[in-house]
């Protein structure tokens, strides 16, 4: 007998907030160099651009993934 389950894979993000405003988003990268993707992260609707609490400085780590149904039309764009 075999047991299998789907694996959901995404990208790990580190979000930096200063005074409650998203300042920087970086990926884990290749283990040596991280990749800055702030402009892209700002287009991901569940990521808040501003935290509801005033004057908060924090670093948040999240996992982000995109479903195939959402990704396919984006991949066809020129």
Task: List beta partners, residue 24.
Answer: 16
C-alpha to C-alpha distance for 14 and 47, rounded to whole angstroms: 11
C-alpha to C-alpha distance for 71 and 67, rounded to whole angstroms: 6
C-alpha to C-alpha distance for 70 and 62, rounded to whole angstroms: 19
Could you say which of 1, 2, 3, 7 is catalytic? Answer: 7
Tell me whether residue 7 is one of the annotated catalytic residues: yes
CB atoms within 10 A of CB 14: 14
Catalytic residue annotation? 7
């Amino acid at each position: 007998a075999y047991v299998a389950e789907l694996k959901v894979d995404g990208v790990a993000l580190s979000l930096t907030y200063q005074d409650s405003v998203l300042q920087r988003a970086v990926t884990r990268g290749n283990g040596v160099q991280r990749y800055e993707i702030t402009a892209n992260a700002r287009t991901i609707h569940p990521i808040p651009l501003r935290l509801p609490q005033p004057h908060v400085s924090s670093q948040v780590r999240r996992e982000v993934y995109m479903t195939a149904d959402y990704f396919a039309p984006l991949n066809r764009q020129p």
